[in-house]
Amino acid sequence: GLDISLTSREPLVQHIASRFPNLSFDDVYTAGLSGLWRAVRTFDPSRGSWGCYASMLIKQEIWRYCRKEKRHSYVSLNAVVCK
């Protein structure tokens, strides 16, 4: 079933998340799981290999998280400096 598919593919998320050592592993891993979930739901075998597709979506979600965190950090820093 779907749960087994997700569980068996979590090591891919762990591997990719470990490449972002400057961020909270738990947060990056959670973002990666979101990408994995999206990959499981939308994968079309006629478009290529599962590994490449899943890796791309996992990385996209992690980068989306990184951009969001950077934006929040910048806003927080500005709020402190401008007071």
Cα 18 from Cα 27, distance rounded (Å): 11
Question: What confidence tier does 25 reach under pLDDT thresholds 50, 70, 90?
Answer: very high
Per-residue pLDDT reduced to its tens digit, 38-70: 999 999 888 889 889 999 999 999 999 988 877
Model's pTM, two decimal places?
A: 0.77
Q: Are 36 and 12 in contact (CB under 8 A)?
A: yes
Buried b (16+ CB within 10 A) or exposed e, 45-57: eeeeeeeebbbeb
Q: Say if residues 43 and 53 touch (Cβ distance below 8 Å).
A: yes
